[in-house]
């Protein structure tokens, strides 16, 4: 019983700490005080670090966490810490709302010097009317899963602002009951002037009828 109570205290402290850190990050971005530190790294190195961080978060063997091979992609020169923070937020959400199936992370070269990094899950999915709302601060979709896991409602808004700082945007494609795919599109080289975090174009919802390039060796969500 004492161990359980200590676990509850620790969990509560970690939640409050995460909330404070997210609020500080958002405040810095909105005040124009965020400093970007570009470094050279590969997607493979990024995936290896994320694999070590996120695997312990899986609480069931019914969900597989898969990172696709990215060795053929060129070296990136951008802020690796900010990109890792974005992907951690997306992976954390995917793990929370996926009870069975898989979470697959992949990357591909895009046109005009851009790179796409996808986080695709077979979770509960997001209704069309909520796909814009979830990028608002403190917004949480009312569902049994959401009530069970809880959260701050700041992960996605912060990710959107950080992606904009890196000069890119986020795309979302989701179907209720079949899963979601969040795609981070950023320049391989951090531009001198990134898109303003307040720019609505930093988030793009992909219509469910649109044809998108699927990651290699990914099974259809309906399979």
The reported pLDDT for the residue numbered 57 is: 85
The reported pLDDT for the residue numbered 208 is: 45
Cβ pair 141, 104 in contact under 8 A:
no
The reported pLDDT for the residue numbered 170 is: 96
Backbone angles phi and psi of 174, in degrees to 5: -155, 150
pLDDT grade for 221, boundaries at 50, 70 and 90: very low
Q: What is the DSSP string of 56-88?
A: GG---TTEEEEE---TTSPPEEE-HHHHHHHHH
Q: What is the mean pLDDT of residues 97-124?
A: 95
The reported pLDDT for the residue numbered 218 is: 40
Task: Please give the structure tokens belonging to residue 14.
Answer: 């970690």
Specify the length of the chain in residues.
223
Q: What is the mean pLDDT of residues 156-165?
A: 92
Burial of 127 (0-12, 13-18, 19+ CB in 10 A): middle
pLDDT grade for 174, boundaries at 50, 70 and 90: very high
Q: What are the pLDDT digits (tens) for 24-48?
A: 777 777 777 788 999 999 999 999 9
Cβ pair 63, 95 in contact under 8 A:
yes
pLDDT grade for 222, boundaries at 50, 70 and 90: very low
Task: Please give the structure tokens belonging to residue 108.
Answer: 């591909």
Q: Kindly tell me if the per-residue pLDDT of 211 is higher than 50.
A: no
The reported pLDDT for the residue numbered 15 is: 64
pLDDT grade for 201, boundaries at 50, 70 and 90: very low
């Amino acid at each position: 019983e004492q161990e359980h109570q200590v676990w509850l205290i620790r969990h509560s402290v970690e939640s409050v700490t995460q909330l404070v850190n997210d609020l500080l990050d958002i405040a810095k971005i909105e005040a124009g005080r965020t400093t970007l530190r570009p470094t050279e790294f590969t997607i493979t190195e990024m995936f290896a670090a994320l694999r070590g961080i996120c695997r312990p978060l899986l609480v069931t063997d019914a969900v597989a966490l898969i990172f696709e091979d990215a060795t053929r992609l060129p070296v990136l020169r951008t802020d690796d810490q900010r990109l890792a923070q974005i992907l951690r937020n997306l992976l954390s959400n995917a793990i929370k709302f996926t009870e069975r199936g898989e979470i697959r992370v992949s990357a591909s070269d895009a046109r005009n010097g851009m790179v796409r990094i996808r986080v695709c899950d077979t979770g509960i999915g997001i209704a069309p009317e909520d796909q814009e709302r979830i990028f608002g601060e403190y917004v949480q979709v009312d569902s049994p899963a959401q009530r069970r896991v809880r959260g701050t409602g700041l992960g996605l808004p912060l990710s959107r602002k950080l992606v904009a700082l890196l000069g890119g945007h986020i795309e979302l494609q989701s179907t209720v009951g079949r899963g979601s795919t969040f795609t981070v599109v950023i320049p391989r080289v951090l531009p001198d002037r990134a898109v303003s975090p307040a720019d609505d174009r930093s988030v793009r919802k992909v219509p469910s009828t649109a044809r998108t390039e699927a990651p290699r060796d990914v099974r259809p969500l309906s399979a």
